[in-house]
Amino acid sequence: MSIDTSKVADSNTTTPASAKAPSKAGAVATWADDRLGLGTSMKKQLRKVFPDHWSFMLGEIALWSFVVLLLSGVFLTLWFDPSMAEAEYQGSYDPLRGVEMSKAMISTVELSFDVRGGLLMRQMHHWAAHLFIASMLIHMMRVYFTGAYRKPRELNWVIGCLLILLGSLEGFTGYSLPDDLLSGTGVRAADGFLKATPVVGSYMSFFLFGGEFPGDAIIPRLYIIHVLLIPGLLLGLIAAHMLLLVYHKHTQWPGPGRTEENVVGYPMLPVYAAKAGGFFFIVFGTVALLGGLLSINPVWKFGPYDPTKVTAGSQPDWYMGWPDGLLRIIPGWESVIGGFTISWNVMLPILIVPPLMLVILIALPFIESWITKDDREHHLLERPRNRPTQTAVMVSLMTFYGLAWAAGGNDIIAIKLHLSINQITYFMRVMIFLGPLIAFIITRRWCISLQRHDEQTLLHGYETGIIMRSPEGGYSERHLPISNDAAFRITARDRDEVYAVGSKVDDNGVAAPGGKLDGLRAKLSTLMYADNVQKPTAAELEEAHHHAEHEHELTAALDGRVADGHQFDGHHAVEGETLRGDH
């Protein structure tokens, strides 16, 4: 398909650009290129095209939050002392003065009360962590809902899933460091999780804590994991994620002039660099405002960790909330087999379901491509409605996550909504199974209905809201055709193909022998695609338009003479009014 680019301007300037004597920037570039030879690769990258859409910037929130985390984290390490040696707090916050606590806690309170801006930085670091993980999740949802994980981007999907896992672990190790009452309670629960591991549980606990819980090793160990190991992995994976993004070029929404072979948008330099750079400042600024205005993890109120103390509303940070919710709603299943204890009530919600969720998430693109056997590259995004089953799968997973997440806050929900935690728990025990199922069915049907609506609009035009009365007295609503661009956007998608066993025929016209799983593949393919509404063929569209034109002719005599309603809204002159869409 050839795109007429002659109408597209290249520059805002009215004088054509021409080679001139090298500018200052050019001189610097020349100096650098003499030594680094970057010219070859940069000649393309500097004007690399990025398409513009708000949903493409969600991952950017994660990237910039990560930068804020690195900056604020470095500041915090200058004062934080990751030691569990006990000492008496003698700092500025008097209600804790004289209390024995670990040096980690002392340095955290001192950082909050005796270092100017220290409390702000602590809070910014914590808020940025929340935003980092939250934005990774919404970015992941966007990628899934629009089909941006398809070939050639499957590996980037896998990297993204690992980033979510690592980000959550990084968050857990981070909020455990201050050694305050709340984080200590979380670490104690983690000790319980380790101990529930079959066979090696108590050994793992003793190894991690350097002896009996809590020991004096856990904070320094979590610290080095938090500031070196996981950030290193995160940096590496983020770099790989970005390089693959640059190599594959960004996906784009279908639209006039956009094809699978091109990418239409703004050049990296200057527009995209400015927008991305500006967004960095906005993310940074938002984090600073949150840090300055909203309290997060006020450790001085919790006091130091003490295994005999606990507070109502003991929750992990939100991203650990959903396994915690599962932990709350599971019945007390524990079995002793051959003298050995198996704690299903801990293993299922912590050691089995969350890793399983991650595996499912990582596997989604591969399951889909196994069903479709589609090995084309896909660079045009799909609207969620045009992939009803996939959209429904993600909504179903989100429902599961959301219900488990809400269960993790069941005590707060109970006091704020005046409910009983017992009733909430019973409700969740049922809904954790029913909810995702209901969500799947509703979402899938909803998407298909939207597809039908699209088809209606395409074939019969949009509803004008104008009611016509025929000479016989019948009423009908007038439909007018949508613009060509809008119609193109509706049709710019693939036709789905349902796979049937034996449909593949080899060169000699003999049905190819199916694999063992072909039956399953055919069933899944039917589930995925059979109910979808396919776009009309050119002939069908032609016929529908012909029909519409005929109707239009019948009512054309009325044009300009009927009220379209706007005459009476007080904003329009009555004279000269025409029906909407006629100009």
Residues of span 89-118 touching another protein by CB under 8 A: 92, 94-99, 112-117
Q: At a CB cut-off of 8 Å and minimum separation 6, what does 286 contact?
A: 131
Number of chain residues interacting with another protein (CB under 8 A):
207
Among 19, 21, 510, 538, contact with another protein (rule: CB under 8 A): 538
Cα–Cα distances in Å, from 209 out to 155, 200, 217? 36, 14, 6
Of residues 429 through 468, those in contact with another protein by CB under 8 A are 458
Among 80, 172, 193, 529, contact with another protein (rule: CB under 8 A): 193
Q: How far is the CB of 566 from another protein (least distance, A)?
A: 12
User: For residue 129, which of 170, 77, 166, 161 has the smallest C-alpha distance?
Assistant: 170
Of residues 391 through 420, those in contact with another protein by CB under 8 A are 409-412, 414-415, 418-420
Record the tokens describing residue 149, joined without a space. 């994980």
20-34 CB burial, b ≥16 within 10 A, e <16: eeeeeeeeebeeeee
Of 303 and 436, which has the nearer Cβ to another protein? Answer: 303
The β-bridge partners of 304 are: 180
Of 393 and 492, which has the nearer Cβ to another protein? Answer: 492
Interacting span for another protein (CB under 8 A) from 18-26, 119-127, 392-400, 562-570: 119-127
Of residues 222 through 241, those in contact with another protein by CB under 8 A are none
User: Quick check: 147 and 381 in contact, CB under 8 A?
Assistant: yes
Interacting span for another protein (CB under 8 A) from 26-34, 177-185, 390-398, 556-564: 177-185
Asked if 208 touches another protein (CB under 8 A), the answer is: yes
Q: How far is the CB of 22 from another protein (least distance, A)?
A: 21
Asked if 289 touches another protein (CB under 8 A), the answer is: yes
Asked if 564 touches another protein (CB under 8 A), the answer is: no
Interacting span for another protein (CB under 8 A) from 120-128, 393-401, 438-446, 462-470: 120-128
Q: How far is the CB of 554 from another protein (least distance, A)?
A: 25
Q: How far is the CB of 512 from another protein (least distance, A)?
A: 8
User: Quick check: 55 and 146 in contact, CB under 8 A?
Assistant: yes
Among 67, 249, 354, 555, contact with another protein (rule: CB under 8 A): 249
Q: At a CB cut-off of 8 Å and minimum separation 6, what does 495 contact?
A: 534, 535
Interacting span for another protein (CB under 8 A) from 359-367, 394-402, 436-444, 536-544: 536-544
Of 36 and 502, which has the nearer Cβ to another protein? Answer: 502
Among 33, 463, 485, 549, contact with another protein (rule: CB under 8 A): 485
User: For residue 379, which of 53, 45, 149, 156 has the smallest C-alpha distance?
Assistant: 149
Of 325 and 436, which has the nearer Cβ to another protein? Answer: 325
Tokens 């429902």 belong to 399
Asked if 576 touches another protein (CB under 8 A), the answer is: no
Per DSSP bridges, beta strands 335-337 and 340-342 are antiparallel
Among 280, 401, 446, 462, contact with another protein (rule: CB under 8 A): 280
Record the tokens describing residue 200, joined without a space. 């090696």
Of residues 14 through 43, those in contact with another protein by CB under 8 A are 14, 16
Q: Tell me how far apart the alpha carbons of residues 293 and 291 are, in angstroms, rounded to a whole number.
A: 6
Q: How far is the CB of 281 from another protein (least distance, A)?
A: 3
Q: Tell me how far apart the alpha carbons of residues 479 and 489 are, in angstroms, rounded to a whole number.
A: 19
Among 181, 395, 403, 522, contact with another protein (rule: CB under 8 A): 181
Asked if 290 touches another protein (CB under 8 A), the answer is: yes
Among 81, 170, 324, 454, contact with another protein (rule: CB under 8 A): 324
Among 279, 401, 446, 462, contact with another protein (rule: CB under 8 A): 279
Asked if 496 touches another protein (CB under 8 A), the answer is: no
Asked if 10 touches another protein (CB under 8 A), the answer is: yes
470-484 CB burial, b ≥16 within 10 A, e <16: eeeeeeeebbbbbee
Q: Tell me how far apart the alpha carbons of residues 257 and 555 are, in angstroms, rounded to a whole number.
A: 35
Among 90, 422, 449, 476, contact with another protein (rule: CB under 8 A): 422
Among 165, 225, 229, 255, contact with another protein (rule: CB under 8 A): 255
Of residues 336 through 395, those in contact with another protein by CB under 8 A are 336, 339-343, 345-346, 373, 375-377, 379-380, 383
User: Quick check: 70 and 234 in contact, CB under 8 A?
Assistant: no
Q: How far is the CB of 169 from another protein (least distance, A)?
A: 17
Of 329 and 440, which has the nearer Cβ to another protein? Answer: 329
Angle at 256 between CA 253 and CA 262, to 5 degrees: 65
Q: Please give the full DSSP string across 226-248, using - where no structure is assigned.
A: IIIIHHHHHHHHHHHHHHHHHHH
Q: Tell me how far apart the alpha carbons of residues 388 and 382 are, in angstroms, rounded to a whole number.
A: 11
Asked if 152 touches another protein (CB under 8 A), the answer is: yes
Q: Please give the full DSSP string across 34-53, using - where no structure is assigned.
A: HHH--HHHHHHHTT-EE---
Burial of residue 417 (number of CB atoms within 10 Å: 0-12, 13-18, 19+): exposed
Among 63, 492, 528, 533, contact with another protein (rule: CB under 8 A): 492
User: Quick check: 329 and 421 in contact, CB under 8 A?
Assistant: no
